[in-house]
Amino acid sequence: MHTPSRIRLLLGLGNPGEKYAQTRHNAGYLALQRLAEVHGWTFKQDKRFLGQVAKGQIDGVTIYLVLPETYMNESGRSLRKALDFFKLSVEEVLVVLDDIHLPFGTLRLRKQGGTGGHNGLKSIQAHLGSDAYLRLRVGIGQQKGDDLTKHVLGRFSREESEELGLSLDRAAKLIERIVQGEPLSQVMNEVNRKMSQEKIDNKNSSSDVLGDC
């Protein structure tokens, strides 16, 4: 038996294929790939879940990492299939995704909320009928006046890659703490307090992403 309050399923949002590898919109993919790399876990394609799946344990807790290959705007299909198969609840899910509203490289942890215009979250909430799932946002920023689709589907610069690497390491450690059962309120306060100290450009209000985004 497992404890329902513990996170058991991690979903990383992104688009499949070499065309989208190492793009900003794939920050969710990259975070889970970093976590798997740290622990020596291997992703394998599994058609049952319309994506790639890795299985591992942290402090005796079995977790599943899922990278949907449905393209971003159909991510909810993969999550729904995984939840049904493993007989898990929405409260046992952590979704990791990119966020243009956060400064590059920063992290933010939320229990629930709206989609912020993110097509991956739109699909998830359509298929789950709920927004009561934990989400970890990885900031990818956006320069004022940039074309949104071009920005999120663009590859990281050398400088961004260095900063992102540190952020992915922090995300992996943060996920470990959550899976280990550390009080969520404590983790959220710590992570979000650090983020609030950053200077955020509130003028970055564009959020709609089209097509494969």
Q: How much is the pLDDT for 194? A: 75
- pLDDT (tens digit per residue) in 26-54: 999 999 999 999 999 999 999 999 999 99
Could you write out the three-class secondary structure of the chain? CCCCCCCCEEEECCCCCCCCCCEHHHHHHHHHHHHHHHHCCCCEEEHHHCEEEEEEEECCEEEEEEEECCCHHHHHHHHHHHHHHHCCCHHHEEEEEEECCCCCCCEEEECCCCCCCCHHHHHHHHHHCCCCCEEEEEECCCCCCCCHHHHHCCECCHHHHHHHHHHHHHHHHHHHHHHCCCCHHHHHHHHHHHHHCCCCCCCCCCCCCCCCC
Question: 25 an active-site residue?
Answer: yes
Domains and CATH numbers, the chain: 9-196 (3.40.50.1470)
Please state, for a pLDDT cut of 70, what percent of the chain lies above it.
89
pTM for the predicted model, two decimal places: 0.89
Q: For residue range 171-182, what is the model confidence (pLDDT) as tens digits?
A: 999 999 999 999
Of 25, 101, 118, 151, the catalytic one is 25
